[in-house]
C-alpha cells in the first residue's frame, strides 16, 4: 500500500509563528512525518524547526525538487511506494500553486498515490479576499514578461480582460523588481482602473490597500524586496 503525499503550506514570512497561520491538524501532520520533498532545503528546515517538529533534523529525510535541482523522478516516490507518507514543502505558501511541486503532485496522481492538501496561508487567495474585487471570477497570471514593451502590453491586455469579462486579474514579480513593475502598471493602466496591492501578507508589516491608479500615482509605496501580489479590476 502506498503512503500519502501531504501538501504542507508554509508561512509567508519567516517572522510569523507557524502556529499563528497553520491549522492544528496541519501542525499535527507535520509532526508525524519524517520524509519531506522541498523546494529549498535551508528554508524548509528552518520552517520545520519553527513548527517545533520533534524529530531531530539529522534524522529527517529531505529531498530537494526545484527548477534547477532535481533527482531522477523515481527517487521522489521510493518512500511513498514503500508505504511511507511524505510531505511536500514549497518556499512560501501552498505547494502546487505557482510552485514546481505541481509536477510531483501530477505524477503522484498518475501513480495512484493519495494526495492530501492541508490548510494554511496562500498569498494569492488572501490577496484576492482582501482586494474587494470579483471573487467569483479571477485569474492568477504569475510572473509577467521581463521585457518592458512585452510587460506593458501584457498589463494592458489584463486590464482589457478585467473590463470585458468582469474578471479580477492577479499577478506578481520577484520582490526586488516590485517597484519597477508598479511603475509599469501605473503607466500602462487607465487612471480609473482599480489596483490592489497586497504586501508582506501575514507579516507584522503587512500592507493591503485597494485604490484607483490615479491614487497610486501620487502615493507610491516602497515595495523593494517585499513579497507582493498585485490585482487589477475595472468595475462595470
Residues 141-177 have pLDDT tens digits of: 999 999 999 999 999 999 999 999 999 999 999 999 9
Q: What percent of the chain has pLDDT over 70?
A: 100
**Mean of the per-residue pLDDT values for the chain?**
94
Helix (H, G, I), strand (E, B) or coil at 183: helix
**Mean pLDDT confidence for 214-230:** 97
Q: Give me the helices (H) in 10-147, please.
A: 18-21, 24-32, 41-50, 78-81, 101-110, 123-131
**Mean pLDDT confidence for 186-195:** 97
DSSP strand pairing (114-117 vs 86-89):
unpaired
Question: Which pLDDT belongs to residue 236?
Answer: 60
List pLDDT tens digits, range 51-90.
999 999 999 999 999 888 888 888 999 999 999 999 999 9
- The C-alpha cell of 204 is what? 507584522
- The burial class, CB within 10 Å (0-12 / 13-18 / 19+), for 82 is exposed
> Would you say the pTM of this structure is higher than 0.95?
no
Question: 92 falls in which pLDDT band (50, 70, 90)?
Answer: confident
> Residue 39's closest CA among 120, 93, 84, 118?
93
Question: Which pLDDT belongs to residue 168?
Answer: 98
Give CATH superfamily name and number for 123-233: Tetrapyrrole methylase, C-terminal domain (3.30.950.10)
- The C-alpha cell of 154 is what? 501584457
Q: Where in the chain is the domain with CATH 3.40.1010.10?
A: 4-117
CATH tag, 4-117:
3.40.1010.10
Question: Which pLDDT belongs to residue 235?
Answer: 79
Amino acid at each position: 500500500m502506498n503512503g500519502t503525499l501531504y501538501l504542507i503550506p508554509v508561512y509567508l514570512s519567516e517572522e510569523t509563528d507557524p502556529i499563528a497561520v497553520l491549522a492544528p491538524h496541519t501542525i499535527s501532520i507535520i509532526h508525524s512525518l519524517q520524509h519531506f520533498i522541498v523546494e529549498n532545503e535551508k528554508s524548509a528546515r528552518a520552517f520545520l524547526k519553527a513548527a517545533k517538529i520533534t524529530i531531530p533534523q539529522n534524522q529527517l529525510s529531505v529531498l530537494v525538487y526545484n527548477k534547477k535541482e532535481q533527482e531522477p523522478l523515481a527517487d521522489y516516490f521510493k518512500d511513498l511506494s514503500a508505504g511511507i507518507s511524505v510531505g511536500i514543502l514549497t518556499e512560501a505558501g501552498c505547494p502546487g500553486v505557482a510552485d514546481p511541486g505541481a509536477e510531483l503532485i501530477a505524477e503522484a496522481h498518475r501513480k495512484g498515490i493519495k494526495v492530501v492538501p492541508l490548510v494554511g496561508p496562500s498569498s494569492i487567495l488572501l490577496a484576492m479576499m482582501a482586494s474587494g474585487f470579483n471573487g467569483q471570477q479571477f485569474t492568477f497570471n504569475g510572473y509577467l514578461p521581463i521585457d518592458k514593451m512585452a510587460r506593458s502590453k501584457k498589463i494592458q491586455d489584463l486590464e482589457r480582460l478585467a473590463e470585458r469579462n468582469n474578471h479580477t486579474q492577479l499577478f506578481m514579480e520577484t520582490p526586488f523588481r516590485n517597484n519597477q513593475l508598479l511603475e509599469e502598471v501605473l503607466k500602462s493602466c487607465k487612471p480609473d482602473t482599480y489596483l490592489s496591492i497586497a504586501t508582506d501578507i501575514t507579516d507584522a508589516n503587512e500592507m493591503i490597500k485597494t485604490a484607483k491608479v490615479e491614487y497610486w500615482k501620487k502615493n507610491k509605496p516602497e515595495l523593494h524586496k517585499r513579497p507582493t501580489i498585485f490585482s487589477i479590476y475595472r468595475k462595470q
